[in-house]
Each structure stands twice: as C-alpha cells, then as structure tokens.
Amino acid sequence: MTMHADASIPSIDIDVFGDDFLAAPYSRHDLLRGAGPLFWLSKYGVYGMARHQEISATLKDWQTFISSRGVGLSDFSREKPWRPPSLLLETDPPVHDRTRGIMKDIVSLSALQELRPVWQAEADALIDRVVGAGPLDAVAELAQAFPLRVFPQIIGLPDEGRDNLLAYAMATFNAFGPRNEIFLVSEAKAASAAQWVAQACERRNLKPDGWGMKVYAAADAGRCTEEEAARLVRSFLSAGVDTTVNGIGNMIHAFACNPAQWERLRERPALLKRVFDEALRWDSTVQTFFRTTSRDVEVAGSTVPEGSKILLFLAAANRDPRKWPDPEKFDIERVASGHMGFGFGIHQCLGQMVARLEAEVILAAMLPKVREIRFAGDPVRLLNNTLHSLEALPVEFIAA
Ligand code: Z7Z
C-alpha cells in the first residue's frame, strides 16, 4: 500500500474494481463513506468520494472537475482512449453544449408523448407473456427483451444484429475501469459488435424516421459535421440500452427482495411515478464514474493537484445516511429526488425521460396483472467495472 503524501487524506488499499467489491458493493460503501469526504485509493493512484454532499458539489463544478480527459480511469491527455471519445460524455463546454443541444431537441417531450401509447401496448403484450408462465429469467424475458424491442426501433437501426448492442455496451462500461480481466474478456467479445455498431451509425444504414436520421438532419442543418453525427448516433447506442436493461432488471429485483413494497404499490398505484427513482437510489445501475481536475483545488481541507482522477461512488452517495433516513430500506413512499442515479449537473442523463418511460409502462402493465414477484432461484450477477448488472434473475410472476 502506498500512503498518500498528504497525511490528512485517508488511504484505502482495497480493490474497488476487484471481483469481491463489484459482486457486493453495498457492503463496502460504509467503509468508503466512513473514511472521510475525500480518500485515496492506493491501488489505482486516484482519489475517491462516496458521500452525497461532496459528490454533488463535484459534479456541479464542471469547470474544475472536467470530463474531456475521460470519465474512466484512463486520462485521455496521457493515454489513447479505447474508442474515439463521446461528443457528449467525454467533452466539456462549449463543445458539450452544442452536441447536447442537438440530442436534446431529438429526445424531446413531444417525441416521448407520441411514444407512450405505442410502448404501453408493447409492454402489455410482453407482460401478458410472462405472467402465470411459471419460473423464468426476468433478465432475458423482460429486462433485455423490452428495451431491445423498443429502443433500436426508435433509433431506426437495421433489423439484423441488434443483439450486438448488449455486448458493445458491456465493453463500453467496462472500459471506464482498469484494464482488468473483466474488461479484457468483454473487449474480446465485443470486437465484432463494435464493427456492427460503427456500421449501424452510418447514414446509409439508418431508417428514415428514427432518431438516428434526425442527428444527420442536424448535420444537414449545419449544427454538426457528418463525422460528429455518426458519433452522436453511437451515443444513443452506447448509453441507451444496457443502462435501461439493468435499470429495469434491478427494479424487478428490488421488488422481489421486498414483496411488501409491491403490495403497497398495488394499493397505491399513484406512487408509480416515484418508483423508478427509488429503485435507482436503492440500487444504482451506474455505480461509479470519474472526473479529472483541471487545476489544483481544495477539497475538504486538502489540496488535490491538477490532473488528478477522482472516482465518484454514486451508488454510495445514494445510500449515504447523512442524506437519506434509513438508506438501506427500499421504500417506494420515499421522496428519492436528489439521488445520483442519473448523475447530476450539466452531464445529467440526457435520456432519463426515455428510461423513465420504459420503466413506467412496464410497471403500469404489471400492476393490475401481477400479484407477486417471487424468486425462483438465486439471482446471478454479471460483474462490470461500472454497472451493477444481472446475468440472470429467476422469478415467477404470480397472476393477480
Ligand atoms: O455518449 C456516449 O457514448 C455515452 C456512453 C456512456 C454516454 C453516456 C454514457 C454513460 C452513461 C456513462 C451513464 C456513465 C454512466
């Protein structure tokens, strides 16, 4: 273990990207939060934060805690990125504001209002298939099936090869961590998926009415170049699938673990709009990401030098007892606003309305038809350097 030069900064030597930690992060977060507002992770030579207040302040100050040097462990000013940087995630203003503006106009409220009835019908049909059907894997049959049905369609992706999206996203989210075994295995698996994704993002392969082609319309209007358009379409594919797959999977898992909360929701369906936020607070799909300091900056009484990486444990902030009463309790009556599950600040999840809509139509379809979500086996975790992910979730949806 290397100590930090500043003796006032606690040094932690556990491997936060090791299998043990990734398999059971919540049991280790107390140690991180308890270390102090700022700590040093000696294995990786980076700083860390796990408390709500400091993470919130860090994400707010985008001038000091920048994204353009990467939001993973790798510093783009020193290492070649795994793939050409995202024009949204891995940029700062002013580039970020321009690209985000293009995407925001596409993922608009009116676009989503049109989608709701269509997606509700899809969700109803999917739920009809799983209710009363005996034990099944809710990851494959629901958490993956639903986004893979509706999302590629709205983007206007080619019909063939959509299953490449999951392998690609797995590697993308693993790439924010170290070059460990988890990353290397997923990278090898994603080689052909990355090729498919690159082609799917080309203008000539997109369907005419989808959100993908709308990005190219922005290029035609002079708001971005053709090359930028392809990379912005790639952002939809990178950030839009695995996040919602695991968000839905973790939410179903939360109810399976807490059957009284499912009963409560069935008694008070008006709570439906709040459920997804509490599910993300209680079990955050995106567990962590980094920022890089653009200058020497004082944090909690210590100086963090320019060019430092800081790992932000969003999922730990979401269970910080300094912020949340009884944080370990999944409680759908709680007001979970202020959670970090969609991030915070100028980079806060652009697609969150899409994710919310997906979760809402699934819950709305389930509420009248599912009396109980019962475990039919042990959940199987899929270790990922960034995401809290399920490989399988054996459950039975008991008909009402
Ligand atoms: O733009 C992108 O390619 C992109 C990829 C990943 C955007 C966002 C994300 C992301 C989402 C990263 C949530 C961390 C957490």
User: Between 211-220 and 145-155, two packed helices, what is the crossing angle to 10 degrees?
Assistant: 30
Distance, CA 142 to ligand 1 centroid (Å)?
23
Evaluate: CB of 86 within 6 angstroms of ligand 1: yes
CA distance 381 to 219: 41
Report the alpha-carbon distance of residue 100 to residue 103 in Å, rounded: 5
pLDDT in the model for residue 5: 73
Q: What is the structure's pLDDT at 339? A: 98
What is the identity of the amino acid at 343?
A: G
Per-residue pLDDT tens for 177-232?
Answer: 999 999 999 999 999 999 999 999 999 999 999 999 999 999 999 999 999 999 99
Q: Which structure tokens are listed for 392?
A: 């399988």
The per-residue pLDDT for 58 is: 98
Using an 8 Å Cβ cutoff, are 310 and 302 in contact? no
pLDDT of residue 3: 65
Please give the distance, rounded to the nearest whole angstrom, from the Cα atom of residue 239 to the centre of ligand 1.
5
For 51, the token pair is: 């408390």
Type of residue numbered 353: M
CA 284 distance to own-chain centroid: 8
Counting the structural domains of the chain, the total is: 1
Report pLDDT digits (tens) over 267-295. 999 999 999 999 999 999 999 999 999 99
Q: Is the pTM of this model over 0.95?
A: yes
With a 6 Å cutoff on the Cβ, whether 67 touches ligand 1 is no
The per-residue pLDDT for range 316-333, each reduced to its tens digit, is 999 999 999 999 999 999
Spell out the residues 6+ positions from residue 112 whose beta carbon is closer than 8 angstroms to its own. Answer: 353, 354, 357
Coil vs helix vs strand at 314: helix
Is the Cβ atom of 261 under 6 angstroms away from ligand 1? no
Ligand 1 centroid–CA 373 distance in Å is 31
**Residue 169 in contact with ligand 1 by CB distance below 6 A:** no
Q: For atom 3 of ligand 1, which residue has the closest CA?
A: 235
**CB of 238 shorter than 6 A to ligand 1:** yes
Q: What domain range includes position 340? A: 2-399
Q: How many angstroms separate the alpha carbon of residue 167 from the centre of ligand 1?
A: 15
Helix or strand run (H / E) with residue 39: strand 39-41
Backbone angles phi, psi at 11, to 5 degrees: -105, 130
pLDDT at 325: 98
Task: Give the domain CATH number at 150.
Answer: 1.10.630.10
Return d(Cα 162, Cα 128) in angstroms, integer.
24
Q: Looking at residue 217, what DSSP letter applies?
A: H
User: In the predicted model, is pLDDT for residue 252 greater than 60?
Assistant: yes
User: Distance, CA 260 to ligand 1 centroid (Å)?
Assistant: 34
> Considering the chain, what is the average pLDDT of its residues?
97
Which tokens in the block code for residue 226?
A: 């053709």
**How far is residue 325 from each of residues 274, 320, 340, measured CA to CA in Å?**
17, 9, 16
In the chain, the percentage of residues whose pLDDT exceeds 70 is 99
Does the C-beta of 289 come closer than 6 Å to ligand 1?
yes
**If you measure from the C-alpha of residue 333 to the centroid of ligand 1, how many angstroms do you get, rounded to a whole number?**
29
Cβ of residue 332 lying under 6 Å from some atom of ligand 1:
no
The answer, yes or no, to whether any atom of ligand 1 lies below 6 A from the CB of 88, is: yes
When pLDDT is averaged across residues 385-399 and rounded to a whole number, the result is 98
Q: How confident is the model at residue 65, as a pLDDT? A: 98
For 398, the enclosing helix (H) or strand (E) is: strand 394-399
Q: Please tell me if the CB atom of residue 235 comes closer than 6 angstroms to any atom of ligand 1.
A: yes
pLDDT for position 286: 98
Query: Confidence class of residue 4 from pLDDT cuts 50, 70 and 90?
Result: confident
Q: Which atom of ligand 1 is nearest to the CA of 286?
A: 15
